[in-house]
Structures are given as structure tokens and as C-alpha cells.
């Protein structure tokens, strides 16, 4: 199964993922620029992504904890999600997300 990830520089990557994996794990394991400091426990928001609008409603709704963390970011949008909370399944084959500036290991210009 594939996910399409646009990185912070606008480069589009087609990544191979496995059913049951977190989107954050796929992005991290392919070496893209994502902090993912808490490793997927929904405690830090450093895996924040913008989900393509055509895919957003196909995801399970965000929990209150996830929404609180997203609210704490400076670059949230209506389609913001934490990639550690998106679990891949057949229905998400082809999912498109964009890595946010706040998810970068090194801030822009550093």
C-alpha cells in the first residue's frame, strides 16, 4: 500500500507502507524530515501533517487528546492530524499528506 507525502520543500514522495502501521512510522522509516519525538503515543504533536482534503473525511475522527495537541501547534489547518494517529488500512491506500513546518527536525533557515 502506498502513501503520497509532500515534504516541507514541496517534494512529493510515494512511500510504501504496510497495513496496520502508523503513517508516522512509514514517513520516519523512509527518512523524511519528521521529528516524531514521542514515537506515536500522542503526547507531542511533532508528527503533525496536513491531510489532503479529499482524504480527510476517510480518516477516523481525532480524539480529544489529538485535537488538543493539534491546537497547540502554530501551523494547524482544518485538515490537520497527527500522523501517529492515522493507522493504514486498505481504505487509505493512496493517502496524501503534507509534512508541516512544525514537524521538521530542524526549523527552516537553521
Q: How far is CA 41 from CA 38, 45, 58, 62, in A?
A: 6, 10, 22, 14
Q: What are the grid coordinates assigned to 92, written together?
A: 487509505
Closest by alpha carbon to 41, among 88, 85, 89?
85
Give the pLDDT of the chain (110 residues) as one tens digit per residue.
999 999 999 999 999 999 999 999 999 999 999 999 998 899 999 999 999 999 999 999 999 999 999 999 999 999 999 999 999 999 999 999 999 999 998 755 44
Number of domains in the chain: 1
* Residue 108 in domain: no
CATH number for the domain that contains residue 39: 3.10.20.30
Is 110 part of any domain?
Answer: no
DSSP string of 3-47, one letter each residue: EEEE-TTS-EEEEE--TT-BHHHHHHHTT-S---TTSSSSSS-TT
Amino acid at each position: 500500500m502506498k502513501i503520497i507525502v509532500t515534504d516541507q520543500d514541496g517534494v512529493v514522495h510515494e512511500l510504501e507502507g504496510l497495513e496496520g502501521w502508523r503513517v508516522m512510522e512509514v514517513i520516519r522509516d523512509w527518512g523524511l524530515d519528521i521529528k516524531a519525538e514521542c514515537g506515536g503515543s500522542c503526547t507531542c504533536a511533532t508528527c503533525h501533517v496536513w491531510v489532503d482534503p479529499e482524504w480527510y473525511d476517510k480518516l477516523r475522527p481525532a480524539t480529544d487528546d489529538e485535537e488538543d495537541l493539534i491546537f497547540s501547534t502554530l501551523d494547524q489547518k482544518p485538515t490537520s492530524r497527527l500522523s501517529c494517529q492515522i493507522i493504514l488500512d486498505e481504505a487509505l491506500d493512496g493517502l496524501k499528506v503534507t509534512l508541516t513546518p512544525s514537524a521538521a527536525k530542524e526549523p527552516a533557515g537553521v
